[in-house]
Amino acid sequence: MSGASTEIAVAPVTPLRIIILGATSAIAEATARLWAPGGARILLAGRNEARLNEIASDLKARGAAEAIDWPLDCASANASAELGKMVDRLGGLDILLLAYGVLGEQAELERDPAAAARLITTNFSSAAAWCLAATAVLEKQGAGTLLVIGSVAGDRGRRSNFIYGATKGGLALLVEGIAHKLAPLGARAVIIKPGFVDTPMTAAIANKGPLWAKPEAIAASIVRAGEKGGPEIYAPGFWRGIMIVIRNLPVAIFNKINI
């Protein structure tokens, strides 16, 4: 009895189609480097065209099937119109990573209402517009993931950074609501909450201690969030426990702590 050979059809692996807003940030670049070896097609949006070109070349060398530099001021762009062009360029969207934002200096922000307004526009208003535009795309597709970099600073208002913290707290609430909306449709949204990260944005802060993480550690958490989990992750994970304690400190004790 002769046996007939059976061929098993293997579906082709489709490269991830990824958009990164604020692609020149240290965390965004580190994350893109983790996606590149899998042959991802990555669109890099940011203001510094020269840096975008450098990052795109590096990602191609690391295995990215495509790395598209897309010069853009994300904070002032028409999010819906611009995202439509980006998605058309990629032929769809698997992951959008929102990675831009500014830290600001609390005392200066309190003295200068215009500076505070600019920070709020960048960190919340413009970011919210991108999140809502991405939600419309993911809802229509019934698939894909929105990843947004927030901060543990948004978990409880503190005298040292409550204006910045307010923008991140509002953004977290927005993303959690989007996650709830998308869940029945097969798409996801995740807010990533890093603690202290050693990046150029925090270069002026001295005496970095054991709670500080490198961008590469945050990037690994972001990549995992792109695959599963959510709607909220802390990066590194030990920050979840720290923030549970901080959120639940009685006001009488909290007000005596300079954090």
Phi, psi of 50 (to 5 degrees): -60, -45
Angle separating helix axes 49-61 and 26-35, nearest 10 degrees: 30
Contact 193, 154 (CB under 8 A): yes
Non-local CB neighbours of 91 within 8 Å, separated by 6+ positions: 17
What single DSSP character describes residue 231? S
Helices and strands (DSSP H and E) totals, the chain: 10, 7
Q: Which residues are the active-site residues?
A: 164
- Give the count of alpha carbons within 13 A of 47, CB side only: 9
Non-local CB neighbours of 221 within 8 Å, separated by 6+ positions: 192, 233, 235, 236, 237
Give the integer Cα–Cα distance in Å for 58 and 90: 19
